[in-house]
Amino acid sequence: MSTRSVPLAPREFFHLYNRGTDKRQIFLDFEDYRRFVELLYLCNSRKPISVRDVRKVYNTVFDFERETTLVSIGAYCLMPNHFHILITTEIEGGISEFMRKLSTAYSMYFNLRYDRTGALFEGRFKTEHVDSDEYLKYLYAYIHLNPVKLIDKDWKEKGSRDSKRSLDYAASYSYSSLADYLGGARPECKILESVKFPEYFKSGQEHQIDLFEWLTYTRN
């Protein structure tokens, strides 16, 4: 088994990402996105959990008490053929165990639902060690602005053609953590444990201003 060039050490920050094998879509409809978002919460536990069993008992899976968690998630975003997660942990092996549970659970769900076999993801998840405060802050913009590519695919190279529209789209995108940072009160906010990350934005408005600057920076 190959080893990672940068170990997934406790109390370090990492940007995790992966995409579908052969660049295939891994989220085909609302139910797929919902399942992965639920798994972000449920797989972050040291005990085995069944989505079906939890749904039978609770109004939402986010009402379930997980007890001890494996990792802390600071941001995430799901795109049609890939995902991004900003993560850290306090325990040795926590990230690897969480991602093993997440990838396995979602692959099993997807293959069963669509009557397919084989690997769903393009190998094991990819990691980038966040080795500076500047890079960590940048990742909040990078991850949360990913959905803008769905309405303006060249905005990173040319700048957004309509920054307000782009920011509104990213803010209303249901499958990322941005809404939770902008003050939205939704059950999915329990996925995040932002206290384990630096507080770069004291309010949702400050976060919006930072994102707007990123949307307009390249063009200007």
Task: Return the number of other C-beta atoms located less than 10 Å from residue 218's C-beta.
Answer: 13
Mean pLDDT, residues 10-15 taken together: 95
Phi, psi of 209 (to 5 degrees): -60, -45
Token digits for 191?
């996925």
Question: In the prediction, which pLDDT does 218 show?
Answer: 54
- Answer yes or no: is 1 within a domain: no
∠ CA 96-12-122, rounded to 5°: 40
Tell me the two tokens of residue 62.
Answer: 């986010």
From residue 89, how far is each of 25, 121, 145, 183 by CA, in Å?
A: 29, 23, 24, 25
For residue 73, the cross-strand partners are: 87, 192
What is the pLDDT confidence band of residue 70, given thresholds at 50, 70 and 90?
very high
**Amino acid 198: pLDDT:** 93
Domain containing residue 119: CATH number: 3.30.70.1290
**Closest alpha carbon to 33 in 4, 76, 73, 95:** 76
Asked whether residue 60 is assigned to any structural domain, the reply reads yes
Cα–Cα distance for residue pair 48/42, rounded to 1 Å: 9
In the chain, pLDDT over 70 holds for what percent of residues?
96
Stated pTM of the model = 0.94
Residue 42 has pLDDT above 80, yes or no: yes
Model confidence pLDDT, tens digit, residues 80-102: 999 999 999 999 999 999 999 99
Whether the pLDDT of residue 5 is over 70: the answer is: no
Tell whether 180 is covered by a domain. yes
| Residue 140 resides in a domain | yes
Domain enclosing residue 49, as ranges: 13-217
Cross-sheet strand order for the sheet of 72-79: 72-79, 82-88, 13-19, 126-130
Flag whether 152 is in a domain: yes
Give a yes or no: residue 171 inside a domain. Answer: yes
pLDDT at 220 over 80: no
The pLDDT tens digits for 111-142 are: 999 999 999 999 899 999 999 999 999 999 99
Which H or E run contains 109? helix 94-113
Total of domains in the chain: 1
The full DSSP string for 32-97 is HHHHHHHHHHHTSSSS---HHHHHHHSSSGGGS---S-S-EEEEEEEETTEEEEEEE-SSTTHHHH
